């Protein structure tokens, strides 16, 4: 009964440096899974590339990463790229990005449901949810000291929820098990196995590009053309931010984010 | 081999392509990179889907598989050869390779071949064929190599799947480019086979460091279950599959219980 399903939007945060077919697979696999639970109706997907201030080694300028993601998603009718996070002056905590998008979606959803009925919808209709879509390696990063604040992991997994698509060797079940916070919210941490082992990663794509090896069929053709036109991803570009600490490590060490702005 | 001349290669991939996926296409890219790194010049990539006579379970009609391969390889250096797919009976891989070489590659050689002046006629494959591997080194002209995954290499060991003389011909005269995958040990397999070991210089192993196991089997399974296979194969192929309602539980039952053509042919031969 589609009417009782919880409307859901999936948000993926990350470098997307560059976007690959594997990133887009995450969305497809996650959507299928959430639909198959019988409880959710996936309305849309959002890709939110991180800002340049993240300081990760080899990170290409946001304007390029955004352009490539847009090219990749040209033919998708449900996933879109959002530039908000990349436009913020400093690196933005994932939880802050989630809050921003959730507010935005709630507003949009409220507007569209009132338009249809002419009056405010009945409270029995569930409110739209936003969940973080990620790979097992992202989930694993919760363990890295200084990268995440506990209260943020709490909010991401408790208030919002996670959909984690695994591949390769990493076992997300173990990551959840080994984290008290994630374990407490395990009902809200959806683990999806992608049985097709596909270790395509942006890191491998950049490595191949540096060496002049082909990455065709790992990334969409328009993205490949864009990379060639702009000569992105060379030995030099990989050295960008070399020796710099990741921004989360410096920002969160000295200035802990206060919880719940709204 | 002439130190200054670059050996030209054409890659031929045989298989079910049921359906073609990004993994198949990646094989060509990986093979080309590897060979060019080793000093070869790769001219062309050919996809040759197997004919319906192969009788593999779940094999849908060749006309669809051919069209999907064509859509997938559009605007690339890879093309589809439909001869094998259109044959009624199953054709041995060695014969497919030989036929392609004779019809498409050997004639081109004659343009540079000084012997046409002397002999006044086209040399056929058999005249290029050499029986000992040592003379491989002196063979010139464009090489036609079979492109495959490690699973095909290892299938050489399956009884009654390949004729020994065919294996000898493929690795001895033509050449093999084999893309590894997780769990396979092609070098060990070569070591354990006298035929393969003899022609090991003609077997190019391409290490795929980035595991990519988009198998057609998985794609068919996902389609049967109504799951998305987007980004595992080109959009044009995906659209074709949906437009023609290919790959269902019924289509997977095709040839159920039927003996695979090579087994049928070779066990018939051995019992006759």
- Give the model's pLDDT for residue A117: 56
- pLDDT confidence tier of residue A225, bands split at 50, 70 and 90: very high
Task: Please state the rounded mean pLDDT for residues A249-255.
Answer: 76
Whole-structure pTM value:
0.85
d(CA B125, CA B105): 10
Which residue in chain A has the smallest CA separation from B217? A196
- Give the model's pLDDT for residue B135: 41
**Residues B215-229: pLDDT tens digits?**
899 899 999 999 999
Residues of A in contact with B213 (CB under 8 A): 196-198
- pLDDT confidence tier of residue A4, bands split at 50, 70 and 90: confident
Residues of A in contact with B30 (CB under 8 A): 214
- Give the model's pLDDT for residue A145: 87
Among residues of chain A, what percentage have pLDDT more than 70?
Answer: 90
- Give the model's pLDDT for residue A171: 84
Task: Please state the rounded mean pLDDT for residues A135-158.
Answer: 92
- Give the model's pLDDT for residue A50: 97
> Are the Cβ atoms of A32 and B227 closer than 8 angstroms?
yes
pLDDT lower than 50: segments of chain B = 1-2, 113-123, 130-138
- Give the model's pLDDT for residue B4: 61
**Residues A44-59: pLDDT tens digits?**
999 999 999 999 999 9
User: Does pLDDT of A83 surpass 90?
Assistant: yes
Residues of B in contact with A217 (CB under 8 A): 22, 25-26, 29
> Are the Cβ atoms of A214 and B214 closer than 8 angstroms?
no
> Are the Cβ atoms of B232 and A24 closer than 8 angstroms?
no
Picking from A104, A165, A110, A106, the residue whose alpha carbon sits closest to that of residue A132 is: A165
- pLDDT confidence tier of residue A160, bands split at 50, 70 and 90: very high
- Give the model's pLDDT for residue B3: 52
- Give the model's pLDDT for residue A123: 52
Task: Please state the rounded mean pLDDT for residues A25-41.
Answer: 95
User: What distance in Å separates residue A117's CA from the closest CA in chain B?
Assistant: 33
- Give the model's pLDDT for residue A3: 55
- Give the model's pLDDT for residue A199: 76
A-B C-beta contacts closer than 8 Å: 57
């Amino acid at each position: 009964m589609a009417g009782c399903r919880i409307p859901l939007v999936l948000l993926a945060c990350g470098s997307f440096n560059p976007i690959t077919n594997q990133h887009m697979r995450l969305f497809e696999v996650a959507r299928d899974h959430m639909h198959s639970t019988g409880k959710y109706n996936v309305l849309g997907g959002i890709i939110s590339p991180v800002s340049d201030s993240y300081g990760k080694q080899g990170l290409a300028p946001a304007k390029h990463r955004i352009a490539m993601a847009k090219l990749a998603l040209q033919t998708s009718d449900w996933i879109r790229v959002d530039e908000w996070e990349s436009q913020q002056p400093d690196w933005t905590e994932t939880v802050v990005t989630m809050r921003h998008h959730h507010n935005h979606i709630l507003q949009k959803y409220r507007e569209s449901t009132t338009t249809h009925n002419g009056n405010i919808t009945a409270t029995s209709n569930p409110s739209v949810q936003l969940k973080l879509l990620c790979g097992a390696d992202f989930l694993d990063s919760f363990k890295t000291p200084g990268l995440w604040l506990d209260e943020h992991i709490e909010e991401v997994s408790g208030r919002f929820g996670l959909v984690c698509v695994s591949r390769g060797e990493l076992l997300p079940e173990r990551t959840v098990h080994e984290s008290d916070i994630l374990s407490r919210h395990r009902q809200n941490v959806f683990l999806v196995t992608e049985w097709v082992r596909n270790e395509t990663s942006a890191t491998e794509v950049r490595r191949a590009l540096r060496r002049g090896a082909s990455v065709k069929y790992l990334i969409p053709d328009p993205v490949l053309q864009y990379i060639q036109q702009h000569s992105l991803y060379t030995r030099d570009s990989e050295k960008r931010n070399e020796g710099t600490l990741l921004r989360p490590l410096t920002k969160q060490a000295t200035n802990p984010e206060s919880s719940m702005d709204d | 081999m002439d130190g200054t001349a670059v050996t030209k290669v054409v890659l031929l991939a045989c298989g079910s392509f049921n359906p073609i996926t990004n993994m198949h296409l990646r094989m060509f890219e990986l093979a080309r990179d590897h060979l060019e790194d080793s000093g070869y010049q790769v001219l062309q990539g050919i996809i040759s889907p197997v004919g319906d006579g192969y009788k593999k379970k779940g094999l849908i009609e060749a006309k669809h598989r051919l069209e999907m391969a064509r859509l997938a390889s559009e605007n690339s250096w890879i093309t589809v050869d439909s001869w094998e797919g259109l044959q009624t009976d199953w054709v041995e891989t060695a014969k497919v390779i030989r036929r392609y070489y004779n019809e498409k590659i050997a004639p081109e050689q004659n343009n540079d071949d000084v012997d046409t002046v002397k002999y006044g006629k086209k040399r056929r494959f058999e005249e290029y064929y050499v029986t000992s591997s040592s003379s491989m080194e002196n063979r010139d002209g464009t090489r036609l190599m079979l492109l495959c995954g490690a699973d095909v290499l290892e299938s050489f060991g399956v009884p009654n799947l390949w004729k020994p003389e065919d294996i000898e011909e493929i690795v001895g005269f033509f050449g093999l480019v084999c893309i590894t995958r997780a769990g396979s040990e092609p070098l060990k397999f070569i070591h354990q086979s006298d035929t393969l070991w003899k022609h090991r210089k003609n077997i190019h192993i391409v290490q795929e460091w980035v595991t990519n196991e988009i198998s057609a089997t998985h794609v068919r399974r996902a389609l049967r279950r109504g799951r998305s296979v987007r980004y595992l194969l080109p959009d044009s192929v995906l659209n074709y599959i949906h437009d023609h309602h290919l790959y269902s539980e019924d289509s997977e039952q095709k040839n159920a219980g039927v003996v695979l053509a090579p087994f049928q042919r070779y066990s018939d031969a051995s019992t006759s």
